Structure 1
């Protein structure tokens, strides 16, 4: 693990508005803009008025879960028609990721395949970017990464660039009050996974540990409350803050094996990202425990279990936490075909940008064993 003196950089939006009732501050920020394009899913497209955006506002309301390059092409076509000087991502991570990509690709000479990887986006960005999350999970409002699926290969295309950093992030927990319990549970565990995977990462750093540890503690304290009562403002705010902190973790440290093993569930079987991460989370936490025992014990304690790094005890606590929220914890229950597990294992093993961060090495056989145990 890197020492305290190891150089690291933390990039966050220059302005963050946080708290119940802050949604309209997106509109105040947009004052003076001539054309605004909102990138949203169908539900949030119907409540754009909450942002109080001024002037000419166009809405691309067709963002789908696990968006692919075709979905991105549709959003870029909407940008060509609207010719915005401000793009607003309004929704979960899918909407915010597409908003990032539209903001840097619209009007330029680069396409999505020109920018895959780190630092390949040509800058500076021509339009403003505001991110307004409506779930508490991805932390995408605070980050510099975006993901879309390549439908031909069923793999994720990952883009990383400081040019995708929002000018403003508006985190209004009230926008999450209507999120159903099942989605609240899954996205909440996703936020926790961001923090835990950064905390136990080979690139973990005390600067990021501060946010990561508080993030998973917030989830342990507030997620069950928000699942029970979606209108619990304090619980919703706790999850929104945890998600934001998770976003802070992703830039300098990023996730590890948990997300690598979750991605094939989304790309091959269209399992929502949060649900996939929640199902995989206990298995990878237990697998990694021998490599990071003290940090694992801190995670387990935050989930209400004994501060142990014994893999069996770790798994029991983490699995019980997730299952207690009503999350489906069997791959078979999500419709995954057992015959596809070896292909999924090979796909996950190829995601080196994440697996190389993991505190323990995983072979294809190790990954297949996790999938078999989770089936």
Structure 2
């Protein structure tokens, strides 16, 4: 079967209820009350824990407010200890991908008899323990719509990926007003993360017509609205456009997933604490240009979606995509993040081992190719 073959089997999973739009965040409290749920565990970072009132929840709420930007095993273990003592009827993830990913694991692991190590990989989770509500406060990961959770193992510095149908939200509430306070640099980085999900699903060995329409429209939405949201954080239409792009990116992740872009970006976060969105923005032009010879028509469509002149020549593709990211204010040099060049070989080996993503890439990527990307990005 070839790429984009409509006869290839695909599974489309969505939260059974998605509320989208300005002012929808109060739906969370109403949904919880309608079900008579008393024990609520909210998983958030410190900033979002301080605006819990927006959810309009009553009564027995426990808040875990210690979510880290790149959650690791100790962070997860601290949350699971809280969840075990609370025995929540519903877990609410409030924040970016980190909070939502941890919320997924808190909804399935406590009291299950399963450790994280036993559920890493696809569909190893025994079942659902708590209802799950996801409320994104950034426009990047699309984690509210998906069934994957990523946690960093500090010993190996690898991201452990758990994927399970039991981690799908029962309710996803996407209120773009929650993103109005996101500063310009983070808006840019998370916006390019959403874009990367869409573009990597579109230029993917597993690309599928059922997902292409979300992928290309997601890229168009980012191209149209991201510059506006960076210029004016209070632009509600721009914020809503990006929230939709992020959701579409989340739709792309389940059935198709990402490619070399995310694999090459991961070591920047796990080894050098570069924020995930910023790492994706930095790597994005390098992988788009590298893949151009394998998927020329799709590469041209991606550039067109961003409002750029369509190109298929790798040098022209790189120039266009790099200039676009730089124009958003993204930092495009590894050296600026203090990533040392002498770590590139280890980073390249680590990225090259992420087969679950690299096997999706439309062009074979060798370890030396990844090393060359790091040097070019230095």
Question: Are the equivalent residues in 2 in contact too, given 1:15–1:167 (CA < 8 A)?
Answer: yes
Question: What is aligned with 1:15?
Answer: 17
Which of the numbers 50, 58, 65 marks the counterpart of 2:62? Answer: 58
- Shift of residue 46, structure 1, vs aligned partner: 0.4
Which of the numbers 222, 227, 236 marks the counterpart of 1:224? Answer: 227
Q: Deviations over 1:293-351 (max 9, x none)?
A: 11100111122221111111111111111111111100001110110001000000000
Q: How does 1:242-321 map to 2 (within 5 A)?
A: 242-321=245-324
Which of the numbers 111, 116, 123 marks the counterpart of 2:115? Answer: 111
Q: TM-score, normalised by structure 2?
A: 0.98
Runs of 4+ in 1 over 6 A off after TM superposition: none
Gaps of 5+ in 1: none
Aligned pairs, how many? Answer: 374
Question: What is aligned with 2:96?
Answer: 92
Question: Are the equivalent residues in 1 in contact too, given 2:188–2:226 (CA < 8 A)?
Answer: yes
**Secondary structure of 1:54's partner?**
coil
Question: What is aligned with 1:120?
Answer: 124
**Secondary structure of 1:20's partner?**
coil
Q: TM-score, normalised by structure 1?
A: 0.99
Question: Are the equivalent residues in 1 in contact too, given 2:109–2:129 (CA < 8 A)?
Answer: no
Gaps of 5+ in 2: none
Structure 1 vs Structure 2 CA RMSD: 0.6
- Shift of residue 81, structure 1, vs aligned partner: 2.5
Moved more, 147-156 or 2-11: 2-11
Q: Please give the alpha-carbon distance, in whole angstroms, between the structure 2 residues aligned to 1:308 and 1:44.
A: 41
Q: Deviations over 1:44-72 (max 9, x none)?
A: 01001100012200100000011001000
- Shift of residue 221, structure 1, vs aligned partner: 0.3
Question: What is aligned with 2:86?
Answer: 82
**Secondary structure of 1:62's partner?**
coil
